[in-house]
Amino acid sequence: MATLLVVHHSPTSSMRALLDAALAGAGDDEIEGVEVVVRDALEATAQDVLDADGYVLGTTANFGYMSGALKHFFDSTFLAVGGALDADGQGAAGTPRRTPFGLYVHGRYDTTGAVRSVHGIVGALGWTQASADVEVLGDVDDDARARVRELAATIAALLG
């Protein structure tokens, strides 16, 4: 059975609504053969990453960057899961492992920096973007929930 790891930082009701939508999509009854493992970004481990066949990441956009919790997740797992660094200690393009991922981000005013920062790290991990990012600004409405649901269902279906 394939494993989809959902790593999230959901400190607000908006982020919890998006997480619920992601879990509904990933757990859709029509998708078979996929176990969904959910981890708060502060609790996810390198072993969680290594055991997974695909990933859904959820974060807030904070001061033009991903949440500190998701950054902690990457900081604490990066090298152990095959992340690559160049001679200057910067993230280097990883060898593509065809490990699919999807990303949803919520911000009040802008999500650009958060998206860019996540993509910089997953690029150095060699993960493959398998669905368009879902960027949600302001209030979380039915459309935002539907887009996040579709994102997670897409990643899960690729694994099933």
Residue 10 pLDDT level (bands cut at 50, 70, 90): very high
pLDDT of residue 25: 98
Contact 158, 130 (CB under 8 A): yes
pLDDT of residue 8: 98
Sketch the domain layout of the chain as residue ranges. 2-158
Q: Which residues pair with 128 in a beta bridge?
A: 100
Question: Above 90 in pLDDT, residue 13?
Answer: yes
> What is the amino acid identity at position 147?
R
pLDDT of residue 91: 57
**CATH architecture of residue range(s) 2-158:** 3-Layer(aba) Sandwich (3.40)
Taking residues 134-147, report their average pLDDT. 98
Taking residues 142-147, report their average pLDDT. 98
- DSSP for 6-57, written as a single string: EEE---SHHHHHHHHHHHHHHT-TT--SEEEEEEETTT--HHHHHH-SEEEE
Average pLDDT, the chain: 93
* Separation of alpha carbons 116 and 130, rounded Å: 16
What is the tens place of the pLDDT at every residue in 42-100? 999 999 999 999 999 999 999 999 999 999 999 999 988 887 666 666 555 555 566 99
